[in-house]
Structure formats: structure tokens, C-alpha cells
Amino acid sequence: MADLVDSVGQLLREVAATVVLPSFQHLAEADVEEKAPGEVVTVADRQSEAMIADGLRALLPGSLVVGEEGVAADPAVLDLLRDPGPVWVVDPIDGTGNYAAGHGPFALMAALVRGGAPVAAWILDPLAGTLAVAEAGSGTYVDGVRASLPGDAVRPLRGAAMSRFLPADLKARIRRGLTSIDEVLPGLHCAGREYIDIVTGAQDFVLFWRTLPWDHVPGMLLVQEAGGAVRRLDGGRYDLTADGFGLLAAANDATWRRVHDTLLS
């Protein structure tokens, strides 16, 4: 497994170097299109996903790939997550809105799933050069250094709530709760970077409404393997094969409960 972990990390770096970064801040108008209201996709997203998918299949023959752009083209691809595995979950450029606008952060993300459960995960922030990897039962590493989140000691809370897609009543409720948070961050519009920032201690929590697997499966494993908590807003586990909304990631269980009680009580 160690060889596979290293190989996938190298694959993401190669795709970033050959596809994603060369197009960054050099996209023509025709290279960007709206695939849903307020959501864009670029030629680099599609090229990145194709190259990552080919590389992952070569590394693990017989494996399946569920990528964001593949599902956008054919929603039935999402059903592959129910396969007993191995299945790769891929976000070729997380934070495409940032990328298309010519600024960061954005990330390349992948996770390996077996039997509906993630067993390995990778998030690469190519602008920062940061690669975070996790293997179930073996911990999380950021640029080769093991990440270990603080225990349940009480400290000032610093984090963000992604409010764009929240229902109006819940948005108002959470905004009221945020007034009791010590430091509210604006949000990065890049789930991959938010998860890295939790793992590295740059922030304590982040709340999301939409929970698409390519956005959250890699980060969930990273946070959990570092000692953090990622759960649905009702406290249930995040099942990547089930539909649903609302996800809260935090540096530890006590922080998860504090944030949940502050924002949703």
C-alpha cells in the first residue's frame, strides 16, 4: 500500500505540473463554461480528470473511477460508488471557481474506496506545493510529516461555515450562531484546502451544506486519521453512497460538539 500511496501522490503532482498549472491564469473565454447555475468547468478540469483517471486505473488494474466531471456527463457513474471496489473518487480541480478567476486556492483530490469506505486519500494544493495523504489506520501526513490534531482541550474557536447553498432558515440560524464564534473565517471556496487547514491546525472547523463525495471523501479521511471528527449535522456518520446535506468537520470531538451546539442549538 505504501508504494500505491506514493504513486498516487506523484500522479497528482504530474497532472498539476503538466495540465493544471500551465493553464492557470491563461484560460481563454472559450475554455470556461457554466455547467450549472453559478458553477463553472474548464478545459483543465476535464483534461486533469482524464489524466488522473487513466493513471489510477493503470496503478490499480480493474479499479473504477467516479470523477466529478464524469458524473456531470453521466449521472449514472455515481452508482459505481456502490461497487464493492476498488473505486477511486476524483476531484480534478477542487475550487474551480477560484481557478477560473485566476486565484487560489484550488486542489487536486483523490480517494480510494473499498466496500463503500475510504481506505486512502490524497489532497494536493499545487500553488502551495502541499500534499496531504492518509491511509485508514495509519494516520495522516502533510508533506511527509505526521499530523496530530490537539485533544479535547477547550480553546478559542476559529473556522468557517459555507453559507452559499444553505436553506434560508438554516442560514439565518447559523449566522446568528457565528456571532458567538471567536474568529469567523470567510471560507476559501475550496473544500480541499479547508480540510488541509484543519489537519494542520490553521482552523478548527468548517461547515458545509452540499456533500458531494469528490468534495468530501478525501478530506474526511484526512481529518479522521489525524484525530478529528467529520459527521452529519445530526451527528450521524457521512455515508458516501447516500444522499444528504450538511457536514461538519472539526479538529476533535469536543470541538465538533461545541461548534454544533453554538451554530445549531
Enumerate the known binding-site residues for Mg(2+): 68, 91, 93-94, 215
Asked if residues 66 and 53 have their Cβ atoms less than 8 Å apart, the reply is: no
Which whole-number Å values give the CA distances from 60 to 64, 81, 146, 257, in the listed order? 9, 16, 26, 39
User: β-strands 145-147, 229-231: how paired?
Assistant: unpaired
Which whole-number Å values give the CA distances from 143 to 27, 118, 265, in the listed order? 29, 20, 38
- Find where cell 474557536 sits: 157
CB atoms within 10 A of CB 175: 14
SS (H, E, C) 150-168: CCCCCCCCEEEECCCCCCH
Specify which residues 184 forms β-bridges with.
Answer: 159
Point out the annotated binding site: 68, 91, 93-94, 215
Which helix (H) or strand (E) segment holds residue 215: the answer is: helix 213-225
Q: 213-225 and 191-199 are packed helices; what angle lies between their axes, rounded to 10 degrees?
A: 0
- Listed in order, strand segments (DSSP E) in the chain are 32-36, 39-42, 64-67, 87-94, 107-114, 117-125, 130-135, 139-142, 145-147, 158-161, 183-184, 205-210, 229-231, 245-250
d(CA 42, CA 51): 15
d(CA 204, CA 47): 34
